Amino acid sequence: LKREKPMKIPDSLIKQIKISDQRLTKQKELVLSVLVSNKDRMLSAQEIMNQIPKTESIDFATVYRNLNAFLEIGIVEQTVDMNGRGLYKIACEADAKNHHHFICLICGKVKAIPCDKRFIGDISEKYGFEESFHTLEIFGKCEECLKKE
Amino acid sequence: LKREKPMKIPDSLIKQIKISDQRLTKQKELVLSVLVSNKDRMLSAQEIMNQIPKTESIDFATVYRNLNAFLEIGIVEQTVDMNGRGLYKIACEADAKNHHHFICLICGKVKAIPCDKRFIGDISEKYGFEESFHTLEIFGKCEECLKKE
DNA sequence: ATAGCTGCAAAGCTTTTGCAATCCA
DNA sequence: TGGATTGCAAAAGCTTTGCAGCTAT
């Protein structure tokens, strides 16, 4: 995956960090910057590390600690890939509570799909379950990659 | 999770192993026996190990090698839990190609849900994706656990 | 000043691999 | 018999943790 040009970190994120009892450090900015610059992609800790300029220094432990800190205050979301590696992305407002992902197997881009509550509700009712939460991920080729073929 | 009483391994499974170039060893029987005795549950390698009688001896490496061997010939399925740990279960015939899971957060039982191709097809079409495969897991309380409340 | 944060090193967990010995077909 | 399989030990990945020093507020 190519390295994206670093983007400015939105004030809203900064604010959410300050509201919590967390401090905004240089290292947190580095991690956030990568996440913001790839906001429609899920990145592993390693990939985040790769996108941090070599002129900056940051430890893997710090990357993980910060990702966990971000998860706690809800500004980052996590999934796990097929091999059990953690993947992270900025939790953008639009993604809100319940949504799913389409993940392009070619370019790696992720698109949020709004959740069809009714569909899941129908299934659960039919089988007598009480749903607490669910996951739905669709893998395939995205519109852009299909065009390029 | 409680240890289940060991069940006889169905002939169909034995046959599938013999058809492939694999050999049926004591260790494979041990692993298969645990999987068969918990056929509606997803187990980690550790849990499988725990259910093997202490009188028997088997190495973790062997458990993993066998699970991978079973995956290859399709008699076992794998998922990954929230922490990235691998979970395994016998792939029962009914589960066939495309199905999903309801996973009870109380008792850990898994029920297969047939896949509604149309639903996924509609979504993909709507957003211009070409679907390759997808995952859908619903977590909550199953009928039995709801009754016990 | 003082919590929180960082780097470093070490440890933890799950899973894989190399190798010599062993077992099944 | 000979290739598949096993146990053991070691290593490999990813992630977490302990600690002493550093930093943001």
Q: How many CA atoms lie within 13 A of B137 on its CB side?
A: 14
pLDDT, average across residues B108-127: 76
pLDDT for residue A94: 46
Residue B94, token pair as written in the block: 């009914």
User: A-chain residues within 8 Å CB-CB of B88?
Assistant: none
Q: What percent of chain B lies above the pLDDT cut of 90? A: 36
- Model confidence pLDDT, tens digit, residues B1-55: 566 777 888 998 998 898 888 999 999 999 999 999 998 889 999 999 999 998 9
Q: Record the pTM.
A: 0.73
User: A-chain residues within 8 Å CB-CB of B84?
Assistant: 80, 83-86
Q: What percent of chain A lies above the pLDDT cut of 90? A: 37
Mean per-residue pLDDT of chain A: 84
Q: Phi-psi bin for A21: left (phi > 0), alpha (psi -120 to 50), beta?
A: alpha
- B129–A102 CB contact, under 8 Å: yes
User: A-chain residues within 8 Å CB-CB of B82?
Assistant: 80
Strand partners, B60: none
CA distance A14 to chain B (A): 28
- Closest Cα to residue A85, out of B47, B82, B69? B82
Whether A25 sits with its Cβ under 7 A from any strand D atom: the answer reads: yes
- B132–A105 CB contact, under 8 Å: yes
> What counts of helices (H) and strands (E) characterise chain B?
6, 5
- Model confidence pLDDT, tens digit, residues A88-131: 999 865 444 556 777 776 666 777 777 777 777 888 888 888 88
A65 in Cβ contact with A51 (< 8 Å): no
